[in-house]
Amino acid sequence: MAYQILRDLCTACGDCQQACPNQSISPWKGVYRIDAATCTECDGEGEPGMPQCLDACMEEDCIVPA
């Protein structure tokens, strides 16, 4: 399952995009979005079970399971 960024909470800081090892996060309509086709939830990257975008995002509950 991929993650999604909630538009209403995204501040468009770009921290999540820089943290994504799969380049699955890109700007979209003034905020950011996660491409579900390429998001692996950072499987095999960093701390197991912890997507790196979640760690990078400063907004509470901005990035959630899709």
Give CA torsion, residues 5, 61, 38, 2, to 10 deg: -120
pLDDT (0 to 100) of residue 50: 82
Q: What CATH number does residue 20 fall under?
A: 3.30.70.20
Mean pLDDT of 36-65: 89
| pTM of the entire predicted model | 0.89
Q: Identify the sign of the CA torsion 50, 19, 17, 61.
A: positive
Kindly tell me if the per-residue pLDDT of 46 is higher than 90. Answer: no
Range of the domain at 54: 3-65
Kindly tell me if the per-residue pLDDT of 56 is higher than 70. Answer: yes
Position 4 confidence tier, pLDDT thresholds 50, 70, 90? very high
Tally the domains of the chain.
Answer: 1
